[in-house]
Amino acid sequence: MTDGGLRERKKQRTRDAIVDAAFRLFADRGYEATTLTDIAAEADIAPRTFFAYFPTKEAVVFFDKEASLSGLRRRLEERRETETAIEAMRAWVEGIVEDIDWNDERELARRKLLRETPSLRERERANLAGFEDALGAAVAHDLDLPPSSLRPRLIAAAGAAALSALSDLFDEEQVADGPMALVDDALIFLRGGFAALRDQPRTER
């Protein structure tokens, strides 16, 4: 293995150690009572090392969000010409749902933190801005309109709202019944709105 590969593996181990340490402390002390210094000590690293991996304590809770958003952008960019942005988004969500271990300690801890911590719920909603931008650009392409136009922005905003609502519904009981059924229910509205806007005469560029 190359030196670069070894360095990447070491960085990933350190990153995982920080995330695991943070979630242990959040469970033991609570999110608000846990400091960055606490997390660094628990992970056996210097506080400055923490900042090489995460800019804030909040960012640790959402440690996988950037990779998830990158996956969405890639899925939208690489879709077939005959596949709409809405269908590509569904495929992306399905991939995430299939990959999630709903009994994973991190995932269970995060869901609990989001239920109990208003500031984290606000951050989760803010994270949807990147999703909305990516979907809006793809929908604009489908409608042959600029991303700044109203129609793609409406669909993207509705998609972000649907994703937020689905996140709230994805508790253990509903997941056991089939999470993609919830996704498809939400997409009925999005598909209908997309079709209606696509079929309307274009009034903007």
Given this model, what pLDDT does residue 12 score?
Answer: 93
As annotated, the residues of the chain forming the CATH 1.10.10.60 domain(s) are 3-60
Q: Is 78 helix (H, G, I), strand (E, B) or coil?
A: coil
Q: How do residues 51-109 score in pLDDT, each as one tens digit?
A: 999 999 999 999 998 999 999 999 999 999 999 999 999 999 888 877 877 778 888 88
Q: For tokens 């690489």, what's the residue?
A: 78
Q: What is the pTM of this model?
A: 0.79
Pick from 92, 88, 106: nearest CA to 23: 106
Instruction: Give the pLDDT of residue 78.
Output: 94
Look at residue 169 in the predicted model and tell me its pLDDT: 61
Taking only the tens place, the pLDDT of each residue in 164-188 is 777 666 554 455 556 677 778 778 8
Q: Check residue 83 and report its DSSP letter.
A: S
User: What are the two backbone dihedrals, phi and then psi, of residue 180, each rounded to the nearest 5 degrees?
Assistant: -70, -20
Residue 69 and residue 73: Cα distance in Å, rounded? 6
Confidence of residue 205 (pLDDT cuts 50, 70, 90): very low
Residue 126 pLDDT class (50, 70, 90 cuts): confident
| Span(s) in the chain for CATH 1.10.357.10 | 64-199
Query: How far is it, in rounded angstroms, from Cα 205 to Cα 200?
Result: 14
Q: What is the mean pLDDT of residues 155-162?
A: 86
- Closest residue by Cα to residue 110 from 166, 40, 56, 63: 63
Q: Which CATH number fits domain 64-199: 1.10.287.110, 1.10.540.10, 1.10.240.10, 1.10.357.10?
A: 1.10.357.10
* Cβ–Cβ under 8 Å, residues 119 and 61: no
The full 3-state SS of 15-38, as one line of letters, equals HHHHHHHHHHHHHHHCCCCCCHHH
SS3 (DSSP) at 144: coil
- Compute CA distances 136 → 96, 129, 156, whole Å: 20, 10, 5
Q: Which CATH architecture has domain 3-60?
A: Orthogonal Bundle (1.10)
Taking the C-alpha atoms of residue 50 and residue 45, their distance in angstroms, rounded to an integer, is: 7
Q: Is the pLDDT of residue 200 over 80?
A: no
Structure tokens at 103: 């009994």
Token output for 102 = 């709903």
Q: Give the torsion through C-alpha atoms of 125, 190, 141, 81, to 10 deg.
A: 120
